[in-house]
Amino acid sequence: MDAPLLAIENLRTYFYSRAKRAFIRSVDGVSLEVARGETLGIVGESGSGKSVTALSAAGLVTAGPGVISGRIDLYSNGARRNLLDGLENYARIRERDGRVMEVEKDERGWRKRSETLMAGVRGKEIAMIFQNPRSALNPYSTIGKQLMETIRLHTKLKGESEAKERAIHWLERVRIDSPRLRFDNFPFGMSGGMCQRAMIAMALSAEPSLLIADEPTTGLDVTIQSRIVDLLAQLKAETGITTLLISHDISVIQRLSDRIAVMYGGTVVETGRAAEVLAPEAKVRHPYTTALLASIPSAETIRRKSYLQAIEGEVLDTIEVPRGCRFYGRCNRVTEAIRENCAGSEPPLGEVATGHKVRCWLYPATGKA
Amino acid sequence: MRRYVQTPGSIGEFSELALRQRAEPLDLVYVGYGLLVVAVVVASYMLGAFGWLPDDPQAMNVGLINAAPFTSGHVLGTDFLGRDLQARLILGIQAYFLPGLLAITISVVGGSILGILAGYRGGWFDTIITYFDNLLDSFPRLVLILLVIAAFKADIYYVMVVVGITGMPVIANLIAGKIAFLRQKSFVEAAHALGLPAHTVILKHILWLNCRALLVIQATLGMAEAILVETSLSYLGFGVQEPTPSWGNMVQAGANYFLQGNFWPSTAPALAILATILGFQLLGDGLNNLLEGKRRR
């Protein structure tokens, strides 16, 4: 693998449920690497922790216990910096049998430290786009003004007119027609797809090294979705920007990603090259990935008139995480030979082929790891 | 017969005006009248501040007491000491103009800060503001003001500080509500993600761009409130004292002669109070309808 741009190591981001007096283990030991220039797609159901992983990387998780341990290394300008550096001093964690029992956090100090760490990173090095683009723009300001604001904040273009020129240039690059007219539009005068294009322009105008796209097509019409996906692919080809793409829509992931990480219940259950993980004939595959693939409609399923398969059971409750494999309760490939393992202890993420890792007791490589 | 006409314009382009609700003519009348009142008040304040008055407001003329309008050059007549009513009405604006501005400044600034804290931090800030609001609601404002006057002194600025503070919870609640609404829209988070500093997001994107209309409206209504308080207190004798004119003490002074048939010296300032407060109230209401209530999203 090429030099990484972002390396997340053993990240744990917890929230707290007052009602149940228990931690919600949204992200529970995630390790990921995004290489320079590649697109890593994170796929998983709602609640699998994919968005929280991204938000943690952007330093945007401030509520609750939040990020409680791990490393997030950003390699930029030849230097490595840990975006969680020193934050552990602001949270005292008591653990018993590997389970977090109590977190005491100096919220104010934590937030201050985090802001210091993220200064010059958020927006400049790591930019982010969200779902529901219309609500991600300030309704009372024109898109031109909002775009100019990020340009003046993050680039050397401080003057009014040069920032405006650059803003129009970016509106053109995201294929907004008649950008000079659109410049003075308010978000409510534009379609959702148009707003998302404007958001992408805002994110890219700072020329960040990493773009986090958190469900960029969710909440858009289906036809618009595919146009936004096309746009992202084109911009990717033009700028070569490293992207962390998050989506529950596996077809979006398939079209844009070089590598894929499948998340379930706050952990990565499978990771590898997109072609390998999603190859129809793949022999080695996590049962959850198999189930995810079976649940998307394709020309194949329609032609064969076969039914789409919903994944049995419910999404894992990340409050009461079982001792064994997190997918055990819904897995249909448990064999008697491994049942004890599945129920008893969490499988490690084992390498089944070069760069292809699966967290499942089915594969012997896992056992060896 | 009815005509249907297609507005010329490029097809397929959204017209921004079409997306906003058409302005109600009545609201425009309200706002128009309100702006007129504001203009007259500001202009009169300037006249009073620079001393460009039509007549000496303190010059007594015992030979011309309670004169009717248009007698010997007094456009609005004279009061019980023969002083020119028009000049005194203009000078009376001094009594509430700056104190009123102080009051609305306090309530807008304080209310915004509390509102942001409640909206952003939530939790016990929110609770405190709710209790503060309930406390003030359950306590007559005039009694509170009289209490302050009794404890300190009968200074209009002290009173206006109280008016400002008691006006804070309303604004705080409105802003906290607005922030709660805005937080459902992800642009606050998006702005943070784009690296905008927190103070830019709060002051520019939330307060300035999203709450400015609300603040102008509340300031306008607050000014009406301040004028009402000032004139009431002066009427009761707790505010501005003779011989300094205030619309309130003018009404009071004139009232002694009202039943003797000289209704004008008290009616003129009373009408001025009515017209001015109505103006500020209607301006606030009209702006509220035009800017806040009916804007589509």
Q: Is A188's CB within 8 Å of B297's CB?
A: yes
Domain that holds residue A225: 4-125+208-368
Tell me which of A40 and A364 has the higher pLDDT.
A40
Query: Is residue B142 a part of any domain in this protein?
Result: yes
What pLDDT is attached to residue A199?
93
Query: Is residue B62 a part of any domain in this protein?
Result: no
Query: Is residue B282 a part of any domain in this protein?
Result: yes
What share of chain B in percent tops pLDDT 70? 90
What pLDDT is attached to residue B83?
87
Three-state SS for B230-265 is: HHHHHHHCCCCCCCCCCHHHHHHHHHCCHHHCCCHH
CATH number of the domain bearing residue B88: 1.10.3720.10
Query: Is residue A195 a part of any domain in this protein?
Result: no
Q: Does the pLDDT at position A208 exceed 50?
A: yes
Q: Does the pLDDT at position B253 exceed 60?
A: yes
Q: Is B186's CB within 8 Å of A135's CB?
A: yes
What pLDDT is attached to residue B17?
46
DSSP-derived letter for residue A311 is P
| Residue of B19, B192, B194 with shortest CB distance to A150 | B194
A228 lies within 8 A of chain B by CB: no
Give chain B's mean pLDDT.
Answer: 84
Query: Is residue A217 a part of any domain in this protein?
Result: yes
Pick the most confident of A180-184, B21-25, B48-52, B129-133: A180-184
Range 43-102 of A in CB contact (< 8 A) with B: 58, 60
Distance CA B102, CA B99 (A): 5
pLDDT in tens, B138-162: 888 888 888 888 898 878 888 899 9
What pLDDT is attached to residue B8?
52
- Based on the structure, what is the number of domains in chain B? 1
- With CA atoms as reference, report the closest residue to B235 among B250, B225, B257, B256: B250
pLDDT in tens, B69-96: 777 777 788 888 888 888 899 999 988 9
| Residue of A123, A129, A131 with shortest CB distance to B196 | A123
Q: Is A149's CB within 8 Å of B196's CB?
A: yes
What pLDDT is attached to residue A322?
81
What share of chain A in percent tops pLDDT 90? 35
Average of pLDDT values for B235-249?
Answer: 86
Tell me which of B238 and B73 has the higher pLDDT.
B238
Query: Is residue B35 a part of any domain in this protein?
Result: no
Q: How many residues does chain A have?
A: 369
Query: Is residue A253 a part of any domain in this protein?
Result: yes
Q: Is A153's CB within 8 Å of B196's CB?
A: yes
Mean pLDDT check: name the lowest of A306-320, B193-207, B218-232.
Answer: A306-320
- Based on the structure, what is the number of domains in chain A? 1
Q: Does the pLDDT at position A314 exceed 90?
A: no
What pLDDT is attached to residue A175?
92
DSSP-derived letter for residue B200 is I
What pLDDT is attached to residue B109?
95
Question: Is A204 in contact with A236 (CB distance < 8 Å)?
Answer: no
pLDDT in tens, A243-255: 999 998 888 898 9
Assign B16 a pLDDT band (cuts: 50, 70, 90): very low
Q: Does the pLDDT at position A315 exceed 80?
A: no
What pLDDT is attached to residue B293?
62
Q: What value, to the nearest 5°, has the Cα angle with vertex A148 and ends A145 and A154?
A: 145
Question: What are the backbone angles phi and psi of residue A366, rounded to the nearest 5°?
Answer: -60, -45
Instruction: State the ipTM, two decimals.
Output: 0.76
DSSP-derived letter for residue A206 is T
Domain that holds residue B127: 47-53+67-293
- With CA atoms as reference, report the closest residue to A150 among B294, B3, B143, B195: B195
**Displacement of CA A217 from its chain's centroid (Å):** 13
Query: Is residue B136 a part of any domain in this protein?
Result: yes
Q: Is A135's CB within 8 Å of B189's CB?
A: no
Assign A62 a pLDDT band (cuts: 50, 70, 90): confident
CATH number of the domain bearing residue A347: 3.40.50.300
Give the closest-approach CA distance of B71 to chain A in angstroms.
55
Q: Is A150's CB within 8 Å of B196's CB?
A: yes
Query: Is residue B181 a part of any domain in this protein?
Result: yes
Helices of type H across A137-286? 143-154, 160-173, 179-182, 192-205, 222-239, 250-256, 274-278
Query: Is residue A155 a part of any domain in this protein?
Result: no
Give the closest-approach CA distance of B195 to chain A in angstroms.
4
A123 lies within 8 A of chain B by CB: yes
